[in-house]
Structure 1
Amino acid sequence: MLKLMIVEDEELLRMGLVTCVDWADLGYEIIGEAGDGEKALKLVEQNPPDVIITDIKMPRLNGIDMAEKLKADYPGIRIVVISGYDEFEYARRALKMGVSEYILKPINLEQLKKTVVELRMEIEEERKKDREFMELKSMRYEDMQALRQQMYTKLLLQKCSVEELGDYIGRLGEPVLDRYYGAGILAIEGFPVISMECDYLHVIDMDRSLEDFVNRTLKGLYGEDGQNGLTVLRANAGERILCICGESPGEVKQEGRRVREAFGTFNEETGPVELFFGTISRGLEGLHQSYLNVRKDSEVRFMKSLAAPDSSGSAFSSFDLPEFDKENLFFEIKSGSPQGIEDALRELQDTLSGRQVLSYMQLVLIITNLYGECIRLPEEAGGNAEEILGDPRQYYQRILEKKKRNDMIEELGRACFLIHAYFEKISGSRYKGIMERAAQYVEEHYSEEGLSMGDVAAYAHVSVSYLGMIIKNETGQTFIEYLTGIRIEKAKYFLKHTNMKNYEVAIACGYATPSYFSTVFKGMCGMTPSEYRNG
């Protein structure tokens, strides 16, 4: 509701204006009425209205003088002046000073209603534009930084491609693809090992201390204006990712030095901290590569500090076990059986038993890294770990709490069985639907030489590995075998029912050369294309 005030010295007319119009229906609420201009000004001071309907001739202070005072102190108030035919000079003066509307007596209520409705629409449109302007204005440093944080998080932590970030790039309105980037990792020194001796609340407290330390340091470095070239992401507890953006490699390098000097090497609340930077590259792809570079470097440094040589003299250099076929475990989770999962986990136990794993932290990293890959499997089918496990961190916390290898693997198995149940639940009709979309796409594009499983998976909205599993389940074939079968069946049709030459059939079926087509055809049919046509 807009606020309306009526100022009229004739009480009968004033009461008529108040009571004879359904103001609420017009979008107004009457907040006051006055018999002269002086009283009206006092009411306005207490509660300024949006619109004032006023007579011109009034005792003490007339409507025109009142309007002049209001325009000086309250320029946003719309004023509708009521006047008789014999008050032309007043009317001209009123229009000259910017009164919104001028209505002659005797008052036509329909004209009055139309006037105030038009004023309401004008005010609402003006306020809408003001809101839009303020919203744009409010997208200052904090909002732009939040947008950058979201974009960098999707790129670095959620593994989105640069093409998938088009909406963020457009909203930022910056030449992000032409700038130079460097990524760094700031972490509490030895945090993974330290956290093993802490409970969950203590871990949160240490991470909060790191957050406070980062905020204080950046405020001291950049002041209240903020750091336009630096964006901080929270990846894991006890560490932060620093993304530096600049117009040149030198600018990024210089900013990196400033940041390194500002953070130093020690924080009273968290203890020693370490900061590593990756390579400097151009474009968002460069930022992603810089992050991969510094992430690998930090993992190698950490693993070297923990690694214990085995009987062959080698040491763990990554979180994976090369001897363990984790893809087999993933296959059993997605399309195998509970027994298959148990067998794969038993194989994991045997593999770990066969290695001289002397570091407890190594064991934790190996198993939790495997857990991290397992909980990402539902994404291949359009799901997510939260809808299956609730809070995946709870399972991770349980793994951390275990002190024995078998107990850790048992906790990993609980998550594996739940994810397997999810894949079983969505199989059947979902498999059929995906297979139908894949078959349709292959039917329409089999003639394209470069047709790949990636193209088909993108059309079916699933991952390549998940599509391969479905094709195998539904047809008993690999994707290449399935595609080759389709092409050869099409070739048979062309050879039998058309006069196309062999090389034309080859091209129509997605083969660049007749010789390769002939080889594939003979391998599938036991005869050459010419022999098949003649037969």
Structure 2
Amino acid sequence: MKLLIADDELLTREGLASSLDWESMGIHQIFQADDGLRALHIAKLQEPDIILSDIRMPRMNGIELVEKLTELLPDTSIIFMSGYSDKEYLKAAIKLKAIDYVEKPLNPEEVQKTVAEAIRRRQQVLRSRQNEDLLSMETESNLALLLTKPYRDHCGEIEALSRELSLRLSPESGFVTYIVKLRTEEPISVLIKGIRENLKGFLKNFHMNSVYIRMHAVHHVFHVFGEGGAPSAAVLSSIDFFFKEQFRPFGLFVMSRGDTVNGIARAYHSYASAVVAIQNSFFFHAGTLLTSEDTGGGYTFAAEGPAGLENDTGSFAEALEAKDQNRCQSFLDGLHQKYYKNYGMLPNQIKDAYYRLFNALNDCRQKWKLSADSAGTDSSESIIEYLENCFTYEELHHTLEERTRLMFQRLELSVPEDNVIFLIKEYIAKHYGSDLLSIKEISDYVHLSASYVCTYFKNQTGQTLNQYLTEYRMEKAMRLLEDARNQIADISAKVGYSNGNYFSKSFKKFTGLTPSKYREKMLG
């Protein structure tokens, strides 16, 4: 808490500042003013929680100071320091509800007791204010949720909540809905609360307001409205820029803006058009803001549909079988041109198509006995997991291009690998995440004894089977650590370690760094 001491006597100010253990009372900052005018200036800048003020001061007395601060800092506690002859001033103070006072000459114990009581009341006010804010935020969220549904079905509830929030909404009120989709599902309520507060302050410049609701973990819905009708193009442009700047620190995001409408009864239309636009956002770069105009007003499904996508898979597989890298790249270039900024497909349709393309790539890799790639797309399960987390089409397409390029690179440099060694490595690639994976399990898979498998693997590769397995798991862990969304405890289990401490020790032995230090180094 902050304390301001206002008194024209230096000895009084310095004596108060040094005679009590303010830190133990919860006062961490102390300011001093030598007259009422200076105290007013400091109070405006620092917003102290408690003001300990003399009544008689040059340029502006204590009563005048409190009168000036009544509206500016209504919750600040005022304690007057007064002499016996200041009774008339104290009567005025009582009328201002500033009834705390200590008599001069000051008794440190009395000052401490009075300030402690003021702190208690101040904390009570803050708790009450926080509860009010939480209730208001909950009411706002309820209203925001109802505005994502047709008005006719919830008009009574919407009007009741609007009155509760003292929102004046009329048929002339302008509405527009923004939806921001984040990649992360992390609990970021504190950061979003800051954005909500910043938005309200920003919208005041345009005599507008907003309500907010978080939906489906990653979608953040803001209904923006004002009494002066639909916002102008210039105002919308300013709000667009505000949202982009506010969400930039969150990493990857896409945005949509619904149609501008007049009247609360049509607010749902703005939301619905924003939903269509955000669904199309998969096909655009991260950071893009889309409107219904950008996306053609909705989905117009491609005539070729899934059949065309199956033909794409066949063409790619044929080029791979022919080991024709130029043909594969030409195919991928055409695919990108065909589906980037595409309004005729749903994201899941494209992901299904790319699932088949990744599988075609892996089929050839296995046929040619090439080592598994490092992108985590070396099995059907890992491909599905990757596709679920893929945020944009650009990211998806780039990964397929990169995997294709690396496979041809390995093909060019590869030396035909012994079939047994290939099968062992392939089995490890598929089962390294199991903490029960053992040499016996691997040897059973290749129909050889455990002792023979160990000797054979060492002779063929120059390293023991356990060394290879540990190295494989550590490399997987390193890549998972480079993605901040993965919790270290989850990574440990994903790479086959049921004991987190043992994983940390093994990781440090392999890399020289603990998992947390490695992540700090990689993420800067």
TM-score (norm 2): 0.39
Larger Rg: 1
